[in-house]
Amino acid sequence: MKLIIKSDTLYYLILPINLKNLQEEEIITKIKNIFLNYNNKYHFLEPGFYEAKVYNQKIVGTIISIERIDSFDFSEEIDLRVVIKDKIKVYLKPTDDTDFKDFKIKIDVDTLSLKDYLSLIEHSNIIIDTKKVLT
């Protein structure tokens, strides 16, 4: 599991699991359980209303975009709405270009084999792009 914080209100949680074959209700229940257990352990979210967009990427796994929509002043609860999306673009940017001379500066994960992805992920930053989604 990997957590990427983009700003105070936007987080990406990457899970090495594939939820593609589950029913929508099962995905929502599983994501809420994972999310709340993760937050109970690390306390990275303040009370409020959040929207979690769930993306499946065939190599990376499940990517959850968590955005705070509203904060609660008089409650300690975290309310979560889960939305299942279809596609997302994920890139890797190697942190050390000398070790990976064969690869470009920004690598589209869809063009990599699982073996290449696993060798690059330890030495790369993950770039998640929900804007350049192929249809």
pTM to 2 decimal places: 0.74
> Residue 91 and residue 52: Cα distance in Å, rounded?
21
If we measure between CA atoms, which residue out of 38, 41, 45, 44 comes closest to residue 17? 38
- Sequence-distant (6+) residues with CB within 8 A of 38 are 1, 3, 13
Q: What does each of the 135 residues of the chain score in pLDDT, given as a tens digit?
A: 666 767 666 777 787 887 778 888 888 888 888 877 877 887 777 888 888 888 888 888 888 888 888 887 777 787 888 888 877 888 888 886 655 555 557 888 888 888 888 888 887 888 887 665 443
Domain-wise residue ranges, the chain: 2-84, 89-129
